[in-house]
Amino acid sequence: MPWLGCQEDNEGSWAIGVFFGQSPFSLKPIETTEMWRNESAAWPVANPVITCASASDSGFPSNFVADPFLYVQGDVFYLFYETKNSFTMQGDIGVAKSIDKGATWQQLGIALDEEWHLSYPYVFNYLGQVYLMPESSQKGELHLYRVTNFPLKWELDRVIMKKPLIDSFIIDHNGEYWLFGSEHSSFGTTNGRLEIWYSSSPLGPWKPHKKNPIYNTYRSFGARNGGRPFRYNGNLYRIGQDCGETYGRRVRIFKVEVLSRVDYKEVEVPFPFEESSKGRNAWNGARYHHLDVQQLKSGEWVGVMDGDRVPSGDSVHRFLLGCASVAAVSGLILFLGVLLGAVNCIIPLNWCADYSGKRSDTLIAWERANVFSSKLRRVFSRLNRVPSFLRSWIKPNTFAGRSVLTLIFALGVALSCTGVTFIYGGSGAEEPYSWKGQFSQFTLLTMTYDARLWNLKMFVNHYSRCASVKEILVVWNKGIPPKVSDLNSAVPVRIRVEDLNSLNNRFKVDPLIKTRAVLELDDDIMMPCDDVERGFMLWRQHPDRIVGFYPRYVDGSRLEYSGEKYARKNKGYNMILTGAAFMDSQVAFERYWSEQAKPGREVVDKYFNCEDVLMNFLYANASSSKTVEYVRPAWAIDTSKLSSAAISRDTNVHYKIRSECLRKFSDMYGSMRGRRWEFDSRKDRWDV
């Protein structure tokens, strides 16, 4: 039941990405290599390559995946990782396989499942035998497993140590084997503790280092291990976790200078890992706490790293803040009731000292026997005088009183919205959607000019933080272009300055575009990143179509341009406005600039309009099957209504010009007659 996986988890939403570089200190994410899923795919692969959805879709529901370790056999990558079981809520060890350098992964199943929590599956080879040493601190012991049928069958070889060690690894150095791990079972120990043992064999027996514990310091120091140690240029490096701000905030790299039975010394070295500026919309925008790097036979280095979009304990933190906001609203309602006279008694009158009504014999006996009761009743009595005191102090029928009531009401509304947002609003991340277990990225293209610079700044600031945006291309048609530094962007921005102010520039063939997927989006359209991500997923299912958010219906006999209401009235559409649409840049742009499309481009230049209509006719002319796909956005704002700089501001004139374009394009490229696709035809109901 894969739908049970990927539930919100207080430990986070960890996922796993692949990185490549010429050294362990120059790692770049897989998307920078422009690696394709296969020869027919119309998009490059992007991180994360393995998520809870990858595991869940394979038959073992998972809330998250983390702690990745690579085992390389020739050209085949095996990845061992922790997967949190959605039923038992404990960690198991999953394994996946890749035969294309990490571009795609086949989920092989669960390699190890015990009655206790497992994580950190450190896998290594010794004398031709493959061993697995996962963390099993919940059991109170460190276990070593030996493979019997790689990679899914393992048996317990021995208990290495009867200590609840966390995140341990074994490394050979200077003729001896060294075991690094942390024990947090003692009172006062934190993620700032590290211990070392040594032996002549990785199978033991193990003796403690003379200086144990090596560290027992701040959580941010990086004492807790964060992956496999590695050698580079003859030096040994250890990876540690910085748990200062939150658990697993980042990894830190330490160069081991001295490792002997009597001494240990390491110094931190720079780790030039570029953190995402997309915040929670990036899969590793909040933290990354584990790295395994290895050198391939080609000399290239490959690394696997986990990442999370939310801090540790985020769901509990949000729930507590939401409950606190609701409690504050309840207090404000009570206070407002007191001021308006709706609440006269805060506590029952028979609890008050001056109450003269009848009391039960039990209550009277309790009052006589308990000295504390009389003091308590006096407090209650004074408390019940509060309503009249407040009404005399803040008079609702005065200007000051009305101001106070208005302020209380506004504060109550704000706290109510805050409470609902924290409890039901989620983590604040608008995540990408995977297709067949894969993620990708697209180029966002917009066309503008100097009179709309304020639009552009808002546009870039918002959309650059959408999860799958790789780059923003600004087609600058007129005026002095801005500097890239003037734009607050989380991704690279490229400004392409055009010599001629033409709408045809929108679809100009551009060899510098690094993705096949391009989202053509007018700079005056604002919509949630989640709608953008849904549209991108749908385009990856149908890369031969125009996939967008504004449907139109062109009646083959009527040939008059109308808005979305006309399409809704006819219960179907056959055009998608390319002012907010995904398309294959190589196919669409080459088709638009073909010799066949030249008469159409001349019409576009004549009317300074209709470039999107022309693109739809070109698609329809090239295929007899469905050429457009609609995705309904949750909401969309047209900011051009706030400005006079818009060619469609006068709707009547705009529609009249487009109707003329329809007639001309129908003569050039054929009628749209017989083409109509219904709304609400998709199972996901994204086109309702």
pLDDT in tens, 251-264: 999 999 999 999 99
What are the residues facing 171 on neighbouring strands?
178
Q: Report pLDDT digits (tens) over 98-134.
A: 999 999 999 999 999 999 999 999 999 999 999 999 9
Spatial neighbors of 686 by CB under 8 A, at least 6 apart, are 534, 538, 631, 632
Pairing of strands 493-497, 469-476: parallel
> What span, in angstroms and rounded, lies between the C-alpha atoms of 223 and 252?
9
3-class state of residue 504 by DSSP: helix
Do both 222 and 237 map to the same domain?
Answer: yes
pLDDT score recorded for residue 60: 92
Work out the end-to-end distance of the chain between its first and last CA atoms, rounded to an integer number of angstroms. Answer: 27
Confidence band of 70 (pLDDT split at 50, 70, 90): very high
Nearest to 238 by CA among 248, 224, 250: 224
State the sign of the Cα–Cα–Cα–Cα dihedral 244, 246, 249, 251. positive
Do both 674 and 584 map to the same domain?
Answer: yes
pLDDT score recorded for residue 368: 66
- Work out the percent of the chain whose per-residue pLDDT is above 70: 95
pLDDT score recorded for residue 293: 98
354 assigned to active site: no
Pairing of strands 517-521, 176-183: unpaired
- Quick one: average pLDDT of 543-564? 93
- Quick one: average pLDDT of 321-344? 90
Asked whether the predicted pLDDT for residue 366 surpasses 70, the reply is no
Do both 277 and 329 map to the same domain?
Answer: no
641 φ, ψ (degrees, to nearest 5) = -65, -20
Residue 408 inside a domain? The answer is: yes
- Domain finish residue from 389, 424, 459: 424
Give the side-chain half-sphere CA count within 13 A for 232. 22
Residue 369 inside a domain? The answer is: no
Give the side-chain half-sphere CA count within 13 A for 423. 13
> What span, in angstroms and rounded, lies between the C-alpha atoms of 404 and 95?
62
What are the residues facing 379 on neighbouring strands?
none
Do both 115 and 43 map to the same domain?
Answer: yes
pTM of the model: 0.89
Do both 295 and 409 map to the same domain?
Answer: no
Domain count, the chain: 3
Ordered DSSP codes for 237-283? EEEEEE-SSSTT-EEEEEEEEEESSS-EEEEEE-------SSGGGST
Tokens of 238: 């250890």
Residue 162 inside a domain? The answer is: yes
Asked whether the predicted pLDDT for residue 595 surpasses 80, the reply is yes
What are the residues facing 305 on neighbouring strands?
17, 291
Do both 22 and 39 map to the same domain?
Answer: yes
Catalytic residue among 612, 680, 684, 687: 612
- Quick one: average pLDDT of 164-172? 96
- Domain finish residue from 311, 341, 360: 311
The CATH number for 227's domain is 2.115.10.20
Residue 437 inside a domain? The answer is: no
pLDDT score recorded for residue 328: 96
Do both 245 and 330 map to the same domain?
Answer: no
The CATH number for 629's domain is 3.90.550.10
pLDDT score recorded for residue 452: 86
Residue 359 inside a domain? The answer is: no
Burial class (CB in 10 A: 0-12, 13-18, 19+), 295: middle
Do both 232 and 323 map to the same domain?
Answer: no
Pairing of strands 469-476, 442-448: parallel
- Quick one: average pLDDT of 519-523? 96
Tokens of 259: 């490792």
- Domain finish residue from 424, 450, 482: 424
Task: Report CA-CA distances (Å) from 326 to 402, 411, 414, 422, 680.
Answer: 24, 12, 11, 10, 38
Tokens of 24: 């362990």
- Quick one: average pLDDT of 586-612? 96
- Quick one: average pLDDT of 587-593? 96
Spatial neighbors of 568 by CB under 8 A, at least 6 apart, are 679
pLDDT score recorded for residue 37: 65
- Quick one: average pLDDT of 154-160? 97
Asked whether the predicted pLDDT for residue 647 surpasses 70, the reply is no
Nearest to 482 by CA among 493, 466, 471: 493
The answer to whether the CB of 79 falls within 8 A of the CB of 66 is no
Burial class (CB in 10 A: 0-12, 13-18, 19+), 85: buried
3-class state of residue 512 by DSSP: coil
Residue 3 inside a domain? The answer is: no
Q: How many CB atoms lie within 10 A of CB 612?
A: 26
Residue 436 inside a domain? The answer is: no
Do both 399 and 489 map to the same domain?
Answer: no
What are the residues facing 126 on neighbouring strands?
129
> What span, in angstroms and rounded, lies between the C-alpha atoms of 289 and 308?
9
Confidence band of 376 (pLDDT split at 50, 70, 90): confident
361-369 helix and 371-383 helix, angle to the nearest 10 degrees: 110
Asked whether the predicted pLDDT for residue 387 surpasses 90, the reply is no
Instruction: State which residues form the domain around 472.
Output: 442-678
Do both 50 and 196 map to the same domain?
Answer: yes
Do both 330 and 231 map to the same domain?
Answer: no
The answer to whether the CB of 122 falls within 8 A of the CB of 228 is yes
Q: Report pLDDT digits (tens) over 28-63.
A: 999 998 877 665 566 789 999 999 999 999 999 999
What is the rounded average pLDDT for all residues in the chain? 92
Q: How many CB atoms lie within 10 A of CB 400?
A: 10
CA angle 366–372–375, rounded 5-degree value: 110
- Lowest model confidence (mean pLDDT) among 90-94, 538-542, 680-684: 680-684
Residue 253 inside a domain? The answer is: yes
pLDDT score recorded for residue 603: 97
pLDDT score recorded for residue 587: 94
Asked whether the bond before 205 is cis by omega within 30 degrees of 0, the reply is yes
Nearest to 615 by CA among 646, 649, 583, 647: 583
594 φ, ψ (degrees, to nearest 5) = -75, 165
Do both 78 and 187 map to the same domain?
Answer: yes
Confidence band of 144 (pLDDT split at 50, 70, 90): very high
